[in-house]
Protein backbone atom coordinates (compact mmCIF):
# COMPACT_ATOMS: atom_id res chain seq x y z
CA UNK A 1 0.00 0.00 0.00
CA UNK A 2 1.60 3.24 -1.15
CA UNK A 3 1.33 6.67 0.45
CA UNK A 4 -1.02 7.67 -2.40
CA UNK A 5 -3.37 4.76 -1.54
CA UNK A 6 -3.37 5.83 2.11
CA UNK A 7 -4.17 9.44 1.09
CA UNK A 8 -6.98 8.27 -1.25
CA UNK A 9 -8.43 6.11 1.53
CA UNK A 10 -8.24 9.01 4.00
CA UNK A 11 -9.95 11.40 1.56
CA UNK A 12 -12.72 8.83 0.87
CA UNK A 13 -13.37 8.12 4.55
CA UNK A 14 -13.25 11.83 5.48
CA UNK A 15 -15.59 12.69 2.58
CA UNK A 16 -13.06 15.12 1.02
CA UNK A 17 -13.64 15.45 -2.72
CA UNK A 18 -11.96 17.43 -5.50
CA UNK A 19 -14.50 20.28 -5.17
CA UNK A 20 -13.53 20.89 -1.53
CA UNK A 21 -9.80 20.92 -2.35
CA UNK A 22 -10.39 23.36 -5.24
CA UNK A 23 -12.46 25.67 -2.98
CA UNK A 24 -9.75 25.64 -0.28
CA UNK A 25 -6.98 26.45 -2.82
CA UNK A 26 -9.12 29.29 -4.25
CA UNK A 27 -9.63 30.70 -0.72
CA UNK A 28 -5.86 30.58 -0.06
CA UNK A 29 -5.16 32.45 -3.33
CA UNK A 30 -7.78 35.13 -2.46
CA UNK A 31 -6.26 35.48 1.03
CA UNK A 32 -2.76 35.93 -0.43
CA UNK A 33 -3.94 38.59 -2.91
CA UNK A 34 -5.82 40.42 -0.13
CA UNK A 35 -2.72 40.40 2.09
CA UNK A 36 -0.52 41.68 -0.75
CA UNK A 37 -2.79 44.63 -1.59
CA UNK A 38 -3.54 45.57 2.02
CA UNK A 39 0.15 45.81 2.99
CA UNK A 40 0.46 49.66 2.68
CA UNK A 41 -2.60 50.10 4.91
CA UNK A 42 -1.18 47.59 7.41
CA UNK A 43 2.14 49.49 7.50
CA UNK A 44 0.31 52.77 8.22
CA UNK A 45 -1.76 51.06 10.94
CA UNK A 46 1.33 49.58 12.61
CA UNK A 47 2.76 53.09 13.24
CA UNK A 48 -0.15 53.88 15.60
CA UNK A 49 -0.14 51.90 18.92
CA UNK A 50 -3.95 51.87 19.32
CA UNK A 51 -4.56 50.84 15.71
CA UNK A 52 -1.83 48.20 16.13
CA UNK A 53 -3.83 46.61 18.97
CA UNK A 54 -7.08 46.77 16.96
CA UNK A 55 -5.34 45.18 13.97
CA UNK A 56 -3.95 42.38 16.16
CA UNK A 57 -7.45 41.62 17.52
CA UNK A 58 -8.96 41.66 14.02
CA UNK A 59 -6.21 39.37 12.68
CA UNK A 60 -6.59 36.88 15.53
CA UNK A 61 -10.38 36.71 15.12
CA UNK A 62 -10.15 36.37 11.32
CA UNK A 63 -7.55 33.59 11.66
CA UNK A 64 -9.58 31.76 14.31
CA UNK A 65 -12.79 31.99 12.28
CA UNK A 66 -11.02 30.85 9.09
CA UNK A 67 -9.37 27.90 10.85
CA UNK A 68 -12.65 26.85 12.50
CA UNK A 69 -14.58 27.22 9.23
CA UNK A 70 -11.95 25.26 7.28
CA UNK A 71 -12.09 22.37 9.74
CA UNK A 72 -15.92 22.30 9.57
CA UNK A 73 -15.80 22.50 5.76
CA UNK A 74 -13.31 19.62 5.46
CA UNK A 75 -15.13 17.43 7.98
CA UNK A 76 -18.58 18.04 6.47
CA UNK A 77 -19.92 15.00 4.62
CA UNK A 78 -21.53 15.47 1.22
CA UNK A 79 -25.35 15.57 1.09
CA UNK A 80 -26.52 12.16 -0.15
CA UNK A 81 -29.82 11.22 -1.81
CA UNK A 82 -31.16 7.69 -2.39
CA UNK A 83 -31.87 6.75 -6.01
CA UNK A 84 -31.79 3.37 -7.82
CA UNK A 85 -30.85 1.58 -4.58
CA UNK A 86 -27.67 3.53 -3.73
CA UNK A 87 -26.79 6.98 -2.38
CA UNK A 88 -25.65 9.77 -4.73
CA UNK A 89 -23.82 13.03 -3.99
CA UNK A 90 -24.39 16.30 -5.87
CA UNK A 91 -21.63 15.37 -8.38
CA UNK A 92 -23.53 12.09 -9.12
CA UNK A 93 -20.97 9.76 -7.52
CA UNK A 94 -22.53 6.56 -6.07
CA UNK A 95 -22.13 5.74 -2.33
CA UNK A 96 -22.69 2.59 -0.25
CA UNK A 97 -26.09 2.51 1.50
CA UNK A 98 -24.57 1.06 4.68
CA UNK A 99 -21.18 2.83 5.06
CA UNK A 100 -21.96 5.97 3.02
CA UNK A 101 -18.50 5.86 1.42
CA UNK A 102 -17.87 6.08 -2.36
CA UNK A 103 -18.42 2.84 -4.31
CA UNK A 104 -15.47 1.60 -6.34
CA UNK A 105 -15.34 -0.29 -9.60
CA UNK A 106 -17.37 2.59 -10.87
CA UNK A 107 -15.53 3.09 -14.16
CA UNK A 108 -17.74 4.02 -17.08
CA UNK A 109 -19.55 1.00 -18.56
CA UNK A 110 -19.33 -1.03 -15.34
CA UNK A 111 -22.57 -2.72 -14.19
CA UNK A 112 -21.47 -3.79 -10.70
CA UNK A 113 -20.38 -1.34 -8.03
CA UNK A 114 -18.53 -2.56 -4.94
CA UNK A 115 -18.15 -0.99 -1.51
CA UNK A 116 -14.43 -1.07 -0.58
CA UNK A 117 -15.36 -1.18 3.12
CA UNK A 118 -18.16 -3.79 3.55
CA UNK A 119 -17.39 -5.60 0.23
CA UNK A 120 -21.06 -5.53 -0.77
CA UNK A 121 -21.86 -5.44 -4.52
CA UNK A 122 -24.52 -3.09 -5.88
CA UNK A 123 -26.35 -3.17 -9.19
CA UNK A 124 -28.29 -0.18 -10.45
CA UNK A 125 -31.83 -1.21 -11.35
CA UNK A 126 -34.68 0.83 -12.80
CA UNK A 127 -37.63 -1.54 -12.41
CA UNK A 128 -36.46 -4.76 -14.09
CA UNK A 129 -33.90 -2.93 -16.24
CA UNK A 130 -30.23 -3.27 -15.25
CA UNK A 131 -28.40 0.04 -15.75
CA UNK A 132 -24.72 0.82 -16.26
CA UNK A 133 -23.29 3.66 -14.16
CA UNK A 134 -23.38 5.99 -17.19
CA UNK A 135 -27.03 5.17 -17.92
CA UNK A 136 -27.95 5.70 -14.26
CA UNK A 137 -26.08 9.04 -14.12
CA UNK A 138 -27.83 10.17 -17.33
CA UNK A 139 -31.25 9.13 -15.95
CA UNK A 140 -30.68 11.10 -12.74
CA UNK A 141 -29.20 14.11 -14.60
CA UNK A 142 -32.18 14.20 -17.00
CA UNK A 143 -34.55 13.80 -14.01
CA UNK A 144 -36.09 10.65 -15.60
CA UNK A 145 -36.43 9.14 -12.10
ZN1 LIG B 1 -20.33 -0.39 2.51
- 121/113 Cα distance (integer angstroms): 6
Ligand 1 centroid distance, CA of 68 (Å): 30
Question: Does this model's pTM top 0.85?
Answer: no
- 11/24 Cα distance (integer angstroms): 14
Sheet containing strand 86-88, edge to edge, reads 81-83, 86-88, 94-95
Digit-by-digit pLDDT tens for the chain (145 residues) are: 688 787 777 777 676 777 778 888 899 999 999 988 988 888 888 889 998 899 889 989 999 999 998 888 878 777 899 999 999 998 899 999 999 899 987 555 568 899 999 999 999 988 888 888 889 999 999 987 7
Ligand 1 centroid distance, CA of 48 (Å): 59
Taking phi first (over 0 means left), then psi (-120 to 50 degrees means alpha), and beta for anything else, what does residue 109 get?
left
Q: What is the model's pLDDT at position 106?
A: 52
Ligand 1 centroid distance, CA of 43 (Å): 55
Sheet containing strand 121-126, edge to edge, reads 112-114, 121-126, 129-131
Ligand 1 centroid distance, CA of 66 (Å): 33
Ligand 1 centroid distance, CA of 98 (Å): 5
96 within 8 A of 120, measured Cβ to Cβ = yes
Amino acid sequence: MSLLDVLKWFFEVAGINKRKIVVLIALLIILNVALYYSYPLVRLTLSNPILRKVLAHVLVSVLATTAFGSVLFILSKPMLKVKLGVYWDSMLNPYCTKCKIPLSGSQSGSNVLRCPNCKEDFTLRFGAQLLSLDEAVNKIRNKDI
